[in-house]
Structure 1
C-alpha cells in the first residue's frame, strides 16, 4: 500500500447513503413514448407530475408521443433561403426593375452624366 491510507477518496464521517438519510423517494411511474422510427423511450416521472405530450427521442432526436400506433411525424425543416430569395418573395420582377432603374439614375446624376 503506497501511503497507508485505506480510505482514500472518502471524507471523514461519510457513510453509505440510504433511504434513512435521504428520506423517502417520491412515488414514480414509467411513461412510454414512441417516435416515428419505432424507438421506445421510457421516461420515469413523479406520480403527480404532468405528463408532456411530446418527448425527444434520445436515439434519433425525433419527437415521440405516447401512442405507439400513431407517433408524431418528423418536423418539416425549411431549406435555407438566401437574402435574394426573401426579397423575391416580397417584390415582383417589375418592382425590382423599377428600383434598379431608380438607383442607376441617381448614380448617373452624381457622376454628372
Structure 2
C-alpha cells in the first residue's frame, strides 16, 4: 500500500541553501561575445579573472569574440585526405611509373624463377 507521506526522501532540517550558508559570491562581470552568425553569448567571470579573447558559441559552435562588428573567422576545415592523396603529394607521376615498372619487373622475375609456386592446382 502506498504511503501518503509528503516528505518522503527528505531529511530533517533540509531546506533551500541561501547566501548565509554558502558564503558570499565573488564579484562578477558579464562579457558579451559575438560569433560570425551574430549570436551573442554573455558568460560571467570573476571580476579579478582574466577575460579570454575567444569564447565558443553554444548555439553554433563557432568562435566568438568581443568585437561585434568583426567576429573571429570560422575555422577552416580541411577535407579528409585519402592515402592516395598523400602519396600523390610526395610522388610525381614519373616516380609512380618508375616504381610500378620496378615492382612488375620483380614480380615477373620471381614467377620465372619458380613457376610452380604461382600456378593454380586446378588448371
Could you tell me the TM-score, scaled by structure 1's length? 0.91
SS of 1:64's partner is: strand
Partner of 1:81: 81
Q: Equivalent residue for 1:51?
A: 51
Structure 2 gaps, min length 5: 114-123
Partner of 2:3: 3
Q: What RMSD, in angstroms, separates the aligned Cα atoms of the two structures?
A: 1.3
Alignment deviations for residues 76-98 of structure 1 (CA, whole Å, 9 cap, x no partner): 11112111111000010111111
Q: How many residues align?
A: 112
Give structure 1 regions of 4+ aligned residues with deviation exceeding 4 angstroms.
Answer: none
Looking at structure 2, the residues matched to 99 and 13 of structure 1 have their Cα atoms a distance apart, in angstroms, of 81
Once the two structures are TM-superposed, the CA of residue 8 in structure 1 deviates from its matched residue by 2.5
Which one has a larger percent strand, Structure 1 or Structure 2?
Answer: 1
Larger Rg: 2
Q: TM-score, normalised by structure 2?
A: 0.85
Instruction: Give unpaired runs (5+ residues) of structure 1.
Output: none
Q: Deviations over 1:26-79 (max 9, x none)?
A: 111101000011111101111111111111111111110000010001111111
Tell me the residue number matched to 2:67: 67
